[in-house]
Amino acid sequence: MAKIEMITLKDMEIKEVDGEYQQIFSNEKQYPAAITNYGLGLGEKLGLLEGSNLTDLLKIASLEQLMAGGGVNEQVLEADDTNTTKYLKGIYIALIGINPKLELSYEEFLQKYHADSITTMKTYARLVMNTLPSTKSKFAEGMEQSTKKK
C-alpha cells in the first residue's frame, strides 16, 4: 500500500487592503492523494499522460536529473525546461486517483493549488517515489535535505 500524501486546496482572491493588494485565501481543505491505476488511467484519458503506466508519470519530469548528487539539482531547477506544470499534472493525477467522487477539473485544480515551486516538486517526488519502495527512502531523504531552509 502506497503512503498517502495530503494535498491542500483553497480559493484565492486578490483584495485591496490599506492601499495594497494582497492574496486572501479561503475555503481551505485537505485531500488524500496517492498514485493509483485509476488515476493513471484518467491521466491518459485527459491527455495529461501518454499512457496509463507508472513510467508515463515518471516521464513527466526527469527525477534522475532533478536529484543528481542526492539533492535537488539547482541547475535543473533553473533550466528553462523545468516548470511546475509538469509536477502539477502528477499531483492532480494522484489527487483524482484516490478521490474518484471529487469533481474537480485540471483547470479548477490549478486555481485551487497554491503551493510554491519547491513544495510542489517535493510533493510530486514523494507521490511518485511512494510507489517505488526500493528507492523511496534515499530519494525522499535527499529531497528533504536539499530543500531545508537554513
pLDDT of 81 > 50? The answer is: no
For the entire predicted model, the pTM comes to: 0.73
Q: Report d(CA 72, CA 66) in Å as an integer.
A: 6
Query: Higher confidence at residue 19 or residue 53?
Result: 19
Position of cell 469533481?
Answer: 103
Select the more confidently predicted residue: 97 or 122. Answer: 97
Q: What is the domain extent for residue 43?
A: 5-146
pLDDT > 90 fraction of the chain, expressed in percent and rounded: 36
3-state secondary structure of 9: strand
Rg (CA), the chain: 16
Total domains in the fold of the chain:
1
